[in-house]
Amino acid sequence: MEVRRETPVDGAQGPHAAPRPWASVQRLLRWVREHWLLPILVLATAVRFYDLTAAAIWGDEGSSLLLSQYSLSEIWSHAAHDVHPPLYFMLLHGWIELFGDGIFSIRCLSALPGIATVWLGVWLMDLIATRRAALLTGVLLALLPTAVRYSQEVRMYSLLGLWLIGATIALVYWIRYPRRTRYLVAYALLMTAAFYTHYFTALCVVCHWLYLGVIRLQPGYRLRHIQRPGWWLANGAIVLLYLPWVPSLIDLIQHMDLLKANGDVGWEDPVTISSLPSMIWSFLIQDDGEKLPTPLFIAMPLALLALMWVALARDRSVFRGSALVAIYSVVPLLLVFGVSFISPVFIERYVTAYALGLPMIAALAIDRLYSGFRVIALMALMLFVGVELVGLKNNATVDTNDQISVMVEYVNQHFVAGDRIVTSDMLWYLSYVYYNRTDTKPLLYTPPLPNGTSGRPNAYGFGTLVTQDVYIDSLGSLPKGTGRVWLIGTAEGPDEFAPLPAGWQGVNKTQAGGANARLFVMH
Protein backbone atom coordinates (compact mmCIF):
# COMPACT_ATOMS: atom_id res chain seq x y z
CA MET A 1 0.00 0.00 0.00
CA GLU A 2 1.26 3.46 -0.90
CA VAL A 3 1.24 5.83 2.03
CA ARG A 4 1.98 9.52 1.59
CA ARG A 5 2.42 11.62 4.70
CA GLU A 6 1.74 15.20 3.74
CA THR A 7 2.94 16.43 7.12
CA PRO A 8 5.82 14.85 9.05
CA VAL A 9 4.51 12.84 12.00
CA ASP A 10 7.39 13.79 14.25
CA GLY A 11 5.83 17.18 14.93
CA ALA A 12 8.53 19.15 13.10
CA GLN A 13 5.99 21.12 11.13
CA GLY A 14 3.69 22.07 13.98
CA PRO A 15 3.95 25.54 15.46
CA HIS A 16 4.57 24.31 19.02
CA ALA A 17 6.79 21.27 18.47
CA ALA A 18 10.27 22.39 19.63
CA PRO A 19 11.50 21.11 23.03
CA ARG A 20 13.21 24.24 24.36
CA PRO A 21 11.49 27.59 25.04
CA TRP A 22 13.67 29.76 22.80
CA ALA A 23 13.74 27.12 20.09
CA SER A 24 9.94 26.99 20.36
CA VAL A 25 9.69 30.73 19.81
CA GLN A 26 12.01 30.57 16.80
CA ARG A 27 10.09 27.66 15.33
CA LEU A 28 6.78 29.44 15.87
CA LEU A 29 8.04 32.61 14.19
CA ARG A 30 9.34 30.59 11.24
CA TRP A 31 6.02 28.76 11.00
CA VAL A 32 4.14 32.08 11.03
CA ARG A 33 6.34 33.45 8.27
CA GLU A 34 6.20 30.33 6.09
CA HIS A 35 2.42 30.17 6.26
CA TRP A 36 1.87 33.89 5.62
CA LEU A 37 -0.08 33.97 8.88
CA LEU A 38 0.27 37.70 9.56
CA PRO A 39 -1.16 38.82 6.17
CA ILE A 40 -3.96 36.28 6.55
CA LEU A 41 -4.83 37.53 10.03
CA VAL A 42 -4.69 41.13 8.83
CA LEU A 43 -7.22 40.19 6.14
CA ALA A 44 -9.42 38.39 8.69
CA THR A 45 -9.21 41.39 11.02
CA ALA A 46 -10.04 43.88 8.27
CA VAL A 47 -13.23 42.15 7.15
CA ARG A 48 -14.43 41.49 10.70
CA PHE A 49 -13.82 45.00 11.98
CA TYR A 50 -15.18 46.69 8.86
CA ASP A 51 -18.54 48.24 9.78
CA LEU A 52 -18.42 46.40 13.10
CA THR A 53 -20.72 48.96 14.71
CA ALA A 54 -22.86 49.81 11.67
CA ALA A 55 -25.80 47.53 12.44
CA ALA A 56 -27.76 48.29 15.58
CA ILE A 57 -28.05 45.86 18.47
CA TRP A 58 -30.95 43.53 17.69
CA GLY A 59 -33.10 41.46 20.00
CA ASP A 60 -30.86 38.42 20.48
CA GLU A 61 -27.84 40.64 21.15
CA GLY A 62 -29.93 42.65 23.60
CA SER A 63 -30.77 39.44 25.46
CA SER A 64 -27.04 38.65 25.75
CA LEU A 65 -26.44 42.06 27.26
CA LEU A 66 -29.33 41.84 29.71
CA LEU A 67 -28.23 38.42 30.91
CA SER A 68 -24.61 39.52 31.27
CA GLN A 69 -25.66 42.29 33.67
CA TYR A 70 -26.42 39.75 36.40
CA SER A 71 -23.81 38.39 38.78
CA LEU A 72 -22.06 35.17 37.80
CA SER A 73 -24.23 33.07 40.10
CA GLU A 74 -27.36 34.76 38.76
CA ILE A 75 -26.20 34.22 35.16
CA TRP A 76 -25.94 30.51 35.95
CA SER A 77 -29.50 30.37 37.28
CA HIS A 78 -31.04 32.57 34.57
CA ALA A 79 -29.21 30.76 31.74
CA ALA A 80 -30.77 27.56 33.10
CA HIS A 81 -34.11 28.96 31.92
CA ASP A 82 -32.71 30.36 28.67
CA VAL A 83 -32.05 28.39 25.47
CA HIS A 84 -28.24 28.64 25.75
CA PRO A 85 -25.71 27.53 28.40
CA PRO A 86 -24.00 30.17 30.58
CA LEU A 87 -20.32 30.37 29.56
CA TYR A 88 -20.55 33.06 26.89
CA PHE A 89 -22.68 35.29 29.11
CA MET A 90 -20.22 34.91 31.97
CA LEU A 91 -17.34 35.87 29.69
CA LEU A 92 -19.36 38.83 28.39
CA HIS A 93 -20.00 39.89 31.99
CA GLY A 94 -16.27 39.97 32.71
CA TRP A 95 -15.50 41.61 29.37
CA ILE A 96 -17.92 44.46 30.09
CA GLU A 97 -16.40 44.89 33.54
CA LEU A 98 -13.00 45.40 31.90
CA PHE A 99 -13.82 47.24 28.67
CA GLY A 100 -17.29 48.71 29.07
CA ASP A 101 -20.51 48.04 27.18
CA GLY A 102 -19.92 50.24 24.12
CA ILE A 103 -21.03 48.55 20.91
CA PHE A 104 -17.46 48.32 19.59
CA SER A 105 -16.23 46.76 22.80
CA ILE A 106 -18.96 44.16 23.17
CA ARG A 107 -18.74 43.06 19.55
CA CYS A 108 -14.98 42.66 19.88
CA LEU A 109 -15.70 39.66 22.11
CA SER A 110 -17.01 37.95 18.98
CA ALA A 111 -14.62 39.47 16.44
CA LEU A 112 -11.45 38.40 18.25
CA PRO A 113 -12.43 34.70 18.53
CA GLY A 114 -13.42 34.86 14.87
CA ILE A 115 -9.94 36.07 13.93
CA ALA A 116 -8.28 33.49 16.19
CA THR A 117 -10.35 30.76 14.53
CA VAL A 118 -8.80 31.65 11.18
CA TRP A 119 -5.36 31.00 12.71
CA LEU A 120 -6.59 27.70 14.13
CA GLY A 121 -7.94 26.75 10.70
CA VAL A 122 -4.49 27.29 9.17
CA TRP A 123 -2.95 25.25 11.98
CA LEU A 124 -5.40 22.39 11.55
CA MET A 125 -4.90 22.25 7.81
CA ASP A 126 -1.12 22.31 8.25
CA LEU A 127 -1.45 19.21 10.43
CA ILE A 128 -3.51 17.20 7.96
CA ALA A 129 -2.36 18.49 4.55
CA THR A 130 0.26 20.70 2.89
CA ARG A 131 1.50 24.19 3.55
CA ARG A 132 -0.23 25.38 0.39
CA ALA A 133 -3.54 23.93 1.58
CA ALA A 134 -3.05 25.67 4.93
CA LEU A 135 -2.42 29.02 3.24
CA LEU A 136 -5.49 28.61 1.03
CA THR A 137 -7.56 27.70 4.08
CA GLY A 138 -6.46 30.86 5.82
CA VAL A 139 -7.51 33.09 2.94
CA LEU A 140 -10.84 31.35 2.30
CA LEU A 141 -11.69 31.12 5.99
CA ALA A 142 -10.80 34.78 6.53
CA LEU A 143 -13.34 35.73 3.86
CA LEU A 144 -16.11 33.26 4.76
CA PRO A 145 -19.24 35.48 4.99
CA THR A 146 -21.13 33.47 7.62
CA ALA A 147 -18.05 33.48 9.86
CA VAL A 148 -17.64 37.23 9.36
CA ARG A 149 -21.28 37.90 10.13
CA TYR A 150 -21.31 36.03 13.42
CA SER A 151 -17.98 37.56 14.38
CA GLN A 152 -19.91 40.85 14.45
CA GLU A 153 -22.75 39.88 16.77
CA VAL A 154 -22.92 39.86 20.55
CA ARG A 155 -23.66 36.14 20.58
CA MET A 156 -21.78 32.91 21.22
CA TYR A 157 -21.48 31.48 17.71
CA SER A 158 -18.01 32.81 16.93
CA LEU A 159 -16.70 31.58 20.28
CA LEU A 160 -18.19 28.14 19.63
CA GLY A 161 -16.23 27.88 16.38
CA LEU A 162 -13.03 28.68 18.27
CA TRP A 163 -13.62 25.92 20.83
CA LEU A 164 -14.57 23.30 18.23
CA ILE A 165 -11.68 23.91 15.83
CA GLY A 166 -9.30 24.02 18.81
CA ALA A 167 -10.67 20.71 20.08
CA THR A 168 -10.28 19.19 16.61
CA ILE A 169 -6.63 20.25 16.54
CA ALA A 170 -6.10 18.60 19.93
CA LEU A 171 -7.74 15.45 18.59
CA VAL A 172 -5.43 15.36 15.56
CA TYR A 173 -2.35 15.81 17.76
CA TRP A 174 -3.50 12.97 20.01
CA ILE A 175 -4.06 10.69 17.01
CA ARG A 176 -0.47 11.39 15.96
CA TYR A 177 0.95 11.01 19.46
CA PRO A 178 -1.49 8.79 21.39
CA ARG A 179 0.85 8.39 24.37
CA ARG A 180 0.86 12.14 25.07
CA THR A 181 -2.14 12.53 27.33
CA ARG A 182 -1.83 16.32 27.42
CA TYR A 183 -3.58 16.43 24.06
CA LEU A 184 -6.54 14.52 25.45
CA VAL A 185 -6.61 16.85 28.45
CA ALA A 186 -6.72 19.84 26.09
CA TYR A 187 -9.43 18.11 24.05
CA ALA A 188 -11.59 17.46 27.10
CA LEU A 189 -11.28 21.04 28.36
CA LEU A 190 -12.04 22.59 24.96
CA MET A 191 -15.04 20.36 24.36
CA THR A 192 -16.34 21.08 27.84
CA ALA A 193 -16.03 24.81 27.17
CA ALA A 194 -17.92 24.27 23.91
CA PHE A 195 -20.72 22.38 25.69
CA TYR A 196 -21.05 25.24 28.17
CA THR A 197 -21.29 27.62 25.19
CA HIS A 198 -23.86 25.92 22.93
CA TYR A 199 -25.85 22.70 22.98
CA PHE A 200 -25.06 21.94 19.33
CA THR A 201 -21.57 20.95 20.48
CA ALA A 202 -23.07 17.46 20.62
CA LEU A 203 -22.88 17.42 16.81
CA CYS A 204 -19.10 17.79 16.99
CA VAL A 205 -18.90 14.83 19.35
CA VAL A 206 -20.71 12.75 16.74
CA CYS A 207 -18.24 13.94 14.09
CA HIS A 208 -15.15 13.06 16.12
CA TRP A 209 -16.43 9.60 17.02
CA LEU A 210 -17.45 8.95 13.42
CA TYR A 211 -14.01 10.01 12.18
CA LEU A 212 -12.28 7.69 14.63
CA GLY A 213 -14.56 4.93 13.38
CA VAL A 214 -13.57 5.68 9.77
CA ILE A 215 -9.83 5.47 10.41
CA ARG A 216 -10.38 2.31 12.44
CA LEU A 217 -12.20 0.57 9.59
CA GLN A 218 -10.24 1.99 6.65
CA PRO A 219 -8.51 -0.60 4.42
CA GLY A 220 -4.83 -1.14 5.02
CA TYR A 221 -3.31 0.85 7.88
CA ARG A 222 -5.99 0.87 10.59
CA LEU A 223 -5.76 3.22 13.53
CA ARG A 224 -7.30 1.86 16.73
CA HIS A 225 -7.61 5.11 18.67
CA ILE A 226 -11.33 4.64 19.19
CA GLN A 227 -10.52 1.59 21.30
CA ARG A 228 -7.90 3.27 23.48
CA PRO A 229 -8.88 3.73 27.14
CA GLY A 230 -7.55 7.30 27.08
CA TRP A 231 -10.17 8.32 24.52
CA TRP A 232 -12.98 6.88 26.60
CA LEU A 233 -11.60 8.49 29.75
CA ALA A 234 -11.41 11.88 28.01
CA ASN A 235 -15.05 11.64 26.97
CA GLY A 236 -15.94 10.51 30.48
CA ALA A 237 -14.15 13.58 31.83
CA ILE A 238 -16.23 15.81 29.55
CA VAL A 239 -19.40 14.22 30.93
CA LEU A 240 -18.21 14.69 34.51
CA LEU A 241 -17.29 18.32 33.93
CA TYR A 242 -20.69 18.92 32.37
CA LEU A 243 -22.66 17.20 35.13
CA PRO A 244 -23.26 20.43 37.11
CA TRP A 245 -25.26 21.74 34.15
CA VAL A 246 -27.17 18.55 33.37
CA PRO A 247 -30.03 19.19 35.87
CA SER A 248 -30.61 22.59 34.24
CA LEU A 249 -30.65 20.99 30.80
CA ILE A 250 -33.12 18.33 31.91
CA ASP A 251 -35.36 20.98 33.46
CA LEU A 252 -35.22 22.99 30.24
CA ILE A 253 -36.25 19.97 28.16
CA GLN A 254 -39.12 19.26 30.54
CA HIS A 255 -40.39 22.84 30.09
CA MET A 256 -40.11 22.99 26.33
CA ASP A 257 -43.80 23.89 26.14
CA LEU A 258 -43.11 27.07 28.09
CA LEU A 259 -40.29 27.99 25.72
CA LYS A 260 -42.65 27.48 22.80
CA ALA A 261 -45.34 29.58 24.50
CA ASN A 262 -42.88 32.47 24.73
CA GLY A 263 -41.76 32.03 21.12
CA ASP A 264 -38.18 31.21 22.17
CA VAL A 265 -38.36 27.92 20.28
CA GLY A 266 -40.76 26.69 17.63
CA TRP A 267 -40.64 29.93 15.65
CA GLU A 268 -38.45 28.49 12.90
CA ASP A 269 -39.92 27.92 9.43
CA PRO A 270 -40.54 24.32 8.35
CA VAL A 271 -37.85 22.90 6.09
CA THR A 272 -38.22 21.67 2.52
CA ILE A 273 -35.81 19.88 0.21
CA SER A 274 -34.64 23.27 -1.08
CA SER A 275 -33.68 24.35 2.45
CA LEU A 276 -30.40 22.43 2.22
CA PRO A 277 -28.98 24.21 -0.87
CA SER A 278 -30.43 27.45 0.52
CA MET A 279 -28.32 26.99 3.65
CA ILE A 280 -25.17 26.55 1.55
CA TRP A 281 -25.93 29.77 -0.28
CA SER A 282 -26.59 31.54 3.02
CA PHE A 283 -23.17 30.49 4.31
CA LEU A 284 -21.48 31.86 1.21
CA ILE A 285 -23.46 34.91 0.04
CA GLN A 286 -25.71 35.72 3.04
CA ASP A 287 -28.78 35.15 0.89
CA ASP A 288 -30.88 32.01 0.63
CA GLY A 289 -30.50 31.95 -3.15
CA GLU A 290 -34.19 31.18 -3.68
CA LYS A 291 -34.41 33.87 -6.37
CA LEU A 292 -31.53 32.43 -8.38
CA PRO A 293 -32.21 30.42 -11.55
CA THR A 294 -32.69 26.77 -10.64
CA PRO A 295 -29.55 25.52 -12.44
CA LEU A 296 -27.42 28.07 -10.60
CA PHE A 297 -29.24 27.39 -7.32
CA ILE A 298 -28.16 23.76 -7.35
CA ALA A 299 -24.78 24.34 -9.04
CA MET A 300 -22.93 25.64 -5.97
CA PRO A 301 -23.88 22.75 -3.64
CA LEU A 302 -22.97 20.31 -6.43
CA ALA A 303 -19.65 22.09 -6.95
CA LEU A 304 -18.88 21.74 -3.25
CA LEU A 305 -19.70 18.04 -3.45
CA ALA A 306 -17.31 17.72 -6.37
CA LEU A 307 -14.57 19.49 -4.42
CA MET A 308 -15.21 17.19 -1.48
CA TRP A 309 -14.89 14.14 -3.72
CA VAL A 310 -11.56 15.45 -5.04
CA ALA A 311 -10.30 16.08 -1.51
CA LEU A 312 -11.30 12.61 -0.34
CA ALA A 313 -10.27 10.67 -3.44
CA ARG A 314 -6.77 12.16 -3.57
CA ASP A 315 -6.05 11.77 0.14
CA ARG A 316 -3.32 9.12 0.56
CA SER A 317 -2.34 10.04 4.08
CA VAL A 318 -2.49 7.62 6.99
CA PHE A 319 -4.74 9.84 9.06
CA ARG A 320 -7.32 10.67 6.37
CA GLY A 321 -7.53 14.32 7.35
CA SER A 322 -9.86 15.03 4.45
CA ALA A 323 -12.38 12.63 5.95
CA LEU A 324 -12.23 14.53 9.25
CA VAL A 325 -12.95 17.86 7.54
CA ALA A 326 -15.69 16.39 5.35
CA ILE A 327 -17.41 14.74 8.31
CA TYR A 328 -17.15 17.93 10.37
CA SER A 329 -18.75 19.99 7.59
CA VAL A 330 -21.42 17.64 6.28
CA VAL A 331 -22.69 15.45 9.10
CA PRO A 332 -23.95 18.25 11.42
CA LEU A 333 -25.67 19.95 8.50
CA LEU A 334 -27.44 16.76 7.44
CA LEU A 335 -28.39 15.83 11.01
CA VAL A 336 -29.92 19.22 11.78
CA PHE A 337 -31.63 19.25 8.38
CA GLY A 338 -33.13 15.82 9.01
CA VAL A 339 -34.28 16.62 12.55
CA SER A 340 -35.88 19.82 11.27
CA PHE A 341 -38.53 17.83 9.41
CA ILE A 342 -39.75 16.88 12.90
CA SER A 343 -38.86 20.02 14.87
CA PRO A 344 -37.46 22.90 12.78
CA VAL A 345 -34.04 24.09 14.00
CA PHE A 346 -32.33 24.54 10.63
CA ILE A 347 -31.07 28.08 11.25
CA GLU A 348 -27.81 29.45 9.85
CA ARG A 349 -26.35 30.69 13.11
CA TYR A 350 -26.93 27.35 14.84
CA VAL A 351 -24.63 25.56 12.38
CA THR A 352 -22.26 28.34 11.36
CA ALA A 353 -19.46 26.78 13.45
CA TYR A 354 -19.63 23.73 11.19
CA ALA A 355 -19.65 25.84 8.02
CA LEU A 356 -16.03 26.64 8.91
CA GLY A 357 -15.18 23.33 7.28
CA LEU A 358 -16.34 24.43 3.82
CA PRO A 359 -13.27 26.61 3.07
CA MET A 360 -11.07 23.77 4.31
CA ILE A 361 -12.69 21.32 1.89
CA ALA A 362 -12.23 23.80 -0.96
CA ALA A 363 -8.60 24.39 0.02
CA LEU A 364 -7.85 20.66 0.14
CA ALA A 365 -9.39 20.07 -3.27
CA ILE A 366 -7.71 23.08 -4.91
CA ASP A 367 -4.36 22.08 -3.46
CA ARG A 368 -4.69 18.52 -4.78
CA LEU A 369 -5.89 19.66 -8.20
CA TYR A 370 -3.09 22.17 -8.59
CA SER A 371 -0.32 19.67 -9.36
CA GLY A 372 -2.12 18.03 -12.29
CA PHE A 373 -4.95 20.39 -13.26
CA ARG A 374 -3.60 23.84 -12.51
CA VAL A 375 -6.11 25.78 -14.61
CA ILE A 376 -9.08 24.02 -13.01
CA ALA A 377 -7.61 24.60 -9.55
CA LEU A 378 -7.17 28.32 -10.21
CA MET A 379 -10.66 28.60 -11.64
CA ALA A 380 -12.11 26.89 -8.57
CA LEU A 381 -10.16 29.24 -6.30
CA MET A 382 -11.33 32.35 -8.15
CA LEU A 383 -14.92 31.12 -8.15
CA PHE A 384 -14.92 30.41 -4.41
CA VAL A 385 -13.30 33.75 -3.57
CA GLY A 386 -15.67 35.56 -5.92
CA VAL A 387 -18.72 34.03 -4.26
CA GLU A 388 -17.34 34.93 -0.83
CA LEU A 389 -16.81 38.53 -1.93
CA VAL A 390 -20.46 38.71 -2.95
CA GLY A 391 -21.36 37.52 0.54
CA LEU A 392 -19.09 40.08 2.17
CA LYS A 393 -20.71 42.82 0.10
CA ASN A 394 -24.15 41.64 1.23
CA ASN A 395 -22.90 41.59 4.82
CA ALA A 396 -21.69 45.18 4.56
CA THR A 397 -24.91 46.54 3.05
CA VAL A 398 -26.12 48.35 6.14
CA ASP A 399 -28.00 51.66 6.08
CA THR A 400 -26.80 53.31 9.26
CA ASN A 401 -29.65 55.84 9.04
CA ASP A 402 -32.27 53.09 9.08
CA GLN A 403 -31.48 51.39 12.38
CA ILE A 404 -33.49 51.16 15.58
CA SER A 405 -30.69 53.08 17.31
CA VAL A 406 -31.61 56.13 15.22
CA MET A 407 -35.21 55.95 16.37
CA VAL A 408 -34.22 55.51 20.02
CA GLU A 409 -31.83 58.45 19.81
CA TYR A 410 -34.69 60.59 18.52
CA VAL A 411 -36.73 59.64 21.58
CA ASN A 412 -33.75 60.32 23.84
CA GLN A 413 -33.43 63.84 22.40
CA HIS A 414 -37.15 64.67 22.63
CA PHE A 415 -37.77 62.99 25.97
CA VAL A 416 -39.19 65.10 28.78
CA ALA A 417 -38.73 64.08 32.41
CA GLY A 418 -41.80 62.13 33.45
CA ASP A 419 -42.53 60.69 29.99
CA ARG A 420 -43.38 57.00 29.77
CA ILE A 421 -41.97 54.56 27.20
CA VAL A 422 -43.83 51.38 26.26
CA THR A 423 -42.59 48.76 23.76
CA SER A 424 -44.91 46.39 21.92
CA ASP A 425 -42.90 43.19 22.01
CA MET A 426 -39.93 41.52 23.66
CA LEU A 427 -37.51 41.84 20.73
CA TRP A 428 -38.10 45.59 20.44
CA TYR A 429 -37.73 45.87 24.19
CA LEU A 430 -34.38 44.03 24.20
CA SER A 431 -33.00 46.34 21.52
CA TYR A 432 -34.48 49.50 22.99
CA VAL A 433 -33.08 49.18 26.51
CA TYR A 434 -29.49 49.12 25.22
CA TYR A 435 -29.84 52.54 23.57
CA ASN A 436 -32.15 54.11 26.15
CA ARG A 437 -30.48 57.17 27.73
CA THR A 438 -33.50 58.55 29.55
CA ASP A 439 -34.14 58.31 33.27
CA THR A 440 -37.20 56.11 32.85
CA LYS A 441 -37.39 52.34 32.56
CA PRO A 442 -39.01 51.22 29.28
CA LEU A 443 -42.06 49.02 29.80
CA LEU A 444 -43.26 45.99 27.82
CA TYR A 445 -46.89 45.89 26.76
CA THR A 446 -48.44 42.51 27.62
CA PRO A 447 -52.21 42.69 27.11
CA PRO A 448 -54.30 39.64 28.06
CA LEU A 449 -54.60 36.95 25.39
CA PRO A 450 -57.89 36.51 23.50
CA ASN A 451 -58.84 33.64 25.85
CA GLY A 452 -58.46 35.97 28.83
CA THR A 453 -55.22 34.49 30.19
CA SER A 454 -52.16 36.61 30.97
CA GLY A 455 -50.05 37.77 28.04
CA ARG A 456 -46.94 38.06 30.17
CA PRO A 457 -43.97 35.85 29.29
CA ASN A 458 -43.36 32.93 31.63
CA ALA A 459 -40.11 32.37 33.53
CA TYR A 460 -38.37 30.59 30.63
CA GLY A 461 -36.54 31.94 27.58
CA PHE A 462 -36.47 35.71 27.28
CA GLY A 463 -38.93 35.86 30.16
CA THR A 464 -36.16 35.03 32.60
CA LEU A 465 -34.33 38.26 31.70
CA VAL A 466 -36.83 40.84 32.97
CA THR A 467 -38.63 41.51 36.23
CA GLN A 468 -42.38 41.69 36.65
CA ASP A 469 -42.38 45.47 37.11
CA VAL A 470 -41.42 45.84 33.42
CA TYR A 471 -44.77 44.48 32.22
CA ILE A 472 -47.86 46.59 31.72
CA ASP A 473 -51.11 44.82 30.86
CA SER A 474 -53.25 47.88 30.09
CA LEU A 475 -52.28 51.25 28.65
CA GLY A 476 -55.07 52.80 30.69
CA SER A 477 -53.20 51.93 33.89
CA LEU A 478 -50.24 54.18 33.03
CA PRO A 479 -49.75 56.99 35.55
CA LYS A 480 -50.15 60.31 33.79
CA GLY A 481 -46.89 61.90 34.91
CA THR A 482 -46.27 64.59 32.30
CA GLY A 483 -49.24 63.27 30.37
CA ARG A 484 -46.98 61.98 27.58
CA VAL A 485 -46.21 58.43 26.48
CA TRP A 486 -43.97 57.03 23.74
CA LEU A 487 -45.27 53.87 22.08
CA ILE A 488 -42.55 51.78 20.41
CA GLY A 489 -43.80 49.19 17.93
CA THR A 490 -43.49 47.64 14.50
CA ALA A 491 -43.57 50.19 11.69
CA GLU A 492 -45.55 48.03 9.26
CA GLY A 493 -48.66 46.01 9.92
CA PRO A 494 -51.53 46.35 12.40
CA ASP A 495 -51.20 48.65 15.38
CA GLU A 496 -50.02 46.41 18.23
CA PHE A 497 -51.39 48.84 20.82
CA ALA A 498 -54.92 49.17 19.40
CA PRO A 499 -57.34 50.16 20.71
CA LEU A 500 -55.76 53.16 22.41
CA PRO A 501 -57.37 54.66 25.51
CA ALA A 502 -59.90 57.38 24.84
CA GLY A 503 -58.52 60.90 24.77
CA TRP A 504 -55.00 60.02 23.60
CA GLN A 505 -53.75 62.39 20.94
CA GLY A 506 -50.77 61.66 18.69
CA VAL A 507 -48.37 64.62 18.46
CA ASN A 508 -45.11 63.19 17.07
CA LYS A 509 -43.82 60.18 15.18
CA THR A 510 -40.54 58.80 13.85
CA GLN A 511 -39.43 55.45 12.49
CA ALA A 512 -36.22 53.62 11.61
CA GLY A 513 -34.99 50.04 11.55
CA GLY A 514 -38.47 48.59 11.10
CA ALA A 515 -39.78 50.18 14.31
CA ASN A 516 -41.62 53.41 14.98
CA ALA A 517 -41.94 55.68 17.99
CA ARG A 518 -45.21 57.55 18.44
CA LEU A 519 -45.63 60.27 21.03
CA PHE A 520 -49.08 60.62 22.55
CA VAL A 521 -50.51 63.16 24.97
CA MET A 522 -52.93 61.68 27.50
CA HIS A 523 -55.91 63.93 28.17
**pLDDT tens digit at each of 523 positions of the chain:** 333 444 444 444 555 554 567 777 888 888 888 889 999 999 999 999 999 999 999 999 999 999 999 999 999 999 999 999 999 999 999 999 999 999 999 999 999 999 999 999 999 999 999 999 999 999 999 999 999 999 999 999 999 999 999 999 999 999 999 999 999 999 999 999 999 999 999 999 999 999 999 999 887 778 889 999 999 999 999 999 999 999 999 999 999 988 888 888 878 889 999 999 999 999 999 999 999 999 999 999 999 999 999 999 988 888 899 999 999 999 999 999 999 999 899 999 999 999 999 999 999 999 999 988 999 999 999 999 999 999 999 999 889 999 999 999 999 999 999 899 999 999 999 999 999 999 999 999 999 988 888 888 988 988 889 999 999 999 988 876 668 999 999 998 899 999 999 889 999 999 999 999 999 998 7
pTM: 0.92
Rounded to the nearest 5°, which phi and psi values hold at 203? Answer: -65, -35
User: What single DSSP character describes residue 236?
Assistant: H
User: What single DSSP character describes residue 82?
Assistant: S
Domain ranges of the chain: 30-396, 404-522
Preceding amide of 442 cis, omega within 30: no
Surface-to-core class of residue 240, CB atoms within 10 Å of its CB (0-12 exposed, 13-18 middle, 19+ buried): exposed
Surface-to-core class of residue 316, CB atoms within 10 Å of its CB (0-12 exposed, 13-18 middle, 19+ buried): middle
* Three-class SS state of 443: strand
What is d(CA 266, CA 436) in angstroms, rounded to the nearest whole number? 30
Number of neighbours of residue 31 by Cβ within 10 angstroms: 20
With a CB cutoff of 8 Å and minimum separation 6, the contacts of 143 are 43, 47, 359, 385, 388, 389, 392
CB 161 within 8 A of CB 117: yes
DSSP string across 6-38: SS-TTSTTSTT--SSHHHHHHHHHHHHHHTTHH
